[in-house]
Amino acid sequence: MTKKLLFVTGTRADFGKVEPLAIKARDAGYSVSFWVTGMHMLEKYGLTKLEVERVAGVEIFEFKNQKEDDELDKIHANTVIGFSQFIGQQKPDMVFIHGDRIEALSCSLVCATNGLPSAHIEGGEISGTIDEIFRHCNTKLAHCHFVSSELARNRILRMGEEDSRIYVIGSPELDFHAKESGVTIKEVKSRYDINFDDYGICTYHPVTSEASEMGNQASALFEALKYSGRKFVTILPNNDPGFKEIWRVIEALPKNQFRVIPSMRFSYFSELMKNSSAIVGNSSAGVREAPFLGLPSLDIGSRQRARSAADSVTNCQPNDKEKILHFLENSWGKSYPRDESFGAGKTAEKFLKILNSRAFWENDIQKIFNE
């Protein structure tokens, strides 16, 4: 009987992680579906569920788990109820859950309480923020683990997980960046009305544990970027606590220097990155995709702390104007050797090989703490 695989996605970012895996499984004959929720469903963030809906040959189920200003605990409660009802009806054989968002925690908990195997993608990562707590909770709730590196594998082993349940496959979004995007930079600029020839990309997300400081941090960062005179395509932040303060700063930016975009289709964003001069902010794109593409990146603040040791990454606090300006003057437009610390763009191939193995499906639902 064909195995039914369900992929959970709540943001454009995590969709970029799970899409290559889901497509590889679909093409191999598995029954693939997506449960789409979170920021995907909010028009303010670009209604990115539309990007998921473009995937052919899969089933798509949508659930709106929040209103614009809902707190995380309410979003969690809504997601638990909605996902519990959903899996009771659909009964997938395994659920694939990425990362550390609140929706991921909710779905992991539902799977664990219902005895439904879940696979956690990119567990074992560290950041130094409260999101890390959610990620490690998901690891302990999960049936098995698809991780991006040996470092992540070793962290999960230290959490008591069995070695036989941990699979090192790399970071899935690199598969997409390793190939042609399918669009030209001219098409990207036309679609998103970007009039800059030379530009960087800036994304600055809220850090939940520093929510009260996000306005000051964003103000300091963007003041330095303005002072530099460099042009930036600015992607709006996610909706974690503190996002409103960042929004207010972004809304006041000069439009002749900053092109603000709620969200972008992944293929277009990939092409935009490949043609950029630098990546700035605290998105994982700066510590994963940028080093893989050989781009210089300025990692701001604590959100991605200790997630990359690539030579192309410079770490900096948001109020360190001198260091920010030094980076924008001296690293802008530089090219670095490709960093493959998180894989070589063949994650989906490794994923499918594991999925096709009998041993993968024979892991007992009852886990044993590995001393």
Cβ(342)–Cβ(292) under 8 Å? Answer: yes
**Within a domain: 336:** no
Query: Do 139 and 169 sit in the same domain of this protein?
Result: yes
What is the residue-averaged pLDDT of the chain?
95
Query: Do 212 and 230 sit in the same domain of this protein?
Result: yes
Query: Do 65 and 211 sit in the same domain of this protein?
Result: no
H or E, element range at 144:
strand 144-147
Cβ neighbours, 10 Å, residue 256:
9
pLDDT category at 93 given cuts 50, 70, 90 is very high
- For 163, the domain range is 4-177+344-361
**Within a domain: 337:** no
In 3D, which of 348, 5, 371 has the Cα closest to residue 177? 348
Q: Is the pLDDT of residue 126 over 90?
A: no
Angle at 348 between CA 346 and CA 350, to 5 degrees: 75
Cβ(280)–Cβ(297) under 8 Å? Answer: yes
**Within a domain: 339:** no
In 3D, which of 262, 297, 260 has the Cα closest to residue 282? 297
Q: Is the pLDDT of residue 308 over 90?
A: no
Supply the DSSP symbol for 171. -
Cβ(236)–Cβ(261) under 8 Å? Answer: yes
What confidence score (pLDDT) does residue 309 get?
Answer: 79
- Environment class of 189 (CB within 10 Å of its CB; exposed 0-12, middle 13-18, buried 19+): buried
What confidence score (pLDDT) does residue 17 get?
Answer: 93
| Two tokens, residue 15 | 């969709």
Query: Do 81 and 8 sit in the same domain of this protein?
Result: yes
Residues 222-250, mean pLDDT to the nearest whole number: 95
Q: Is the pLDDT of residue 128 over 70?
A: no
Cβ neighbours, 10 Å, residue 3:
14
**Within a domain: 46:** yes
Query: Do 163 and 252 sit in the same domain of this protein?
Result: no
Cβ neighbours, 10 Å, residue 229:
8
* 262-282 residue pLDDT tens: 999 999 999 999 999 999 999
* 165-191 residue pLDDT tens: 999 999 999 999 999 999 999 999 999
Query: Do 37 and 108 sit in the same domain of this protein?
Result: yes
What confidence score (pLDDT) does residue 208 get?
Answer: 85
Query: Do 217 and 91 sit in the same domain of this protein?
Result: no
Q: pLDDT higher for 94 or 363?
A: 94
Query: Do 295 and 349 sit in the same domain of this protein?
Result: no
**Within a domain: 123:** yes
Does the CA dihedral 172-177-183-185 come out positive or negative?
positive
Contacts of 307 (CB under 8 A, 6+ apart): 125, 126, 127, 284, 287, 288
* 36-76 residue pLDDT tens: 999 999 998 889 999 999 999 999 999 999 998 899 999 99
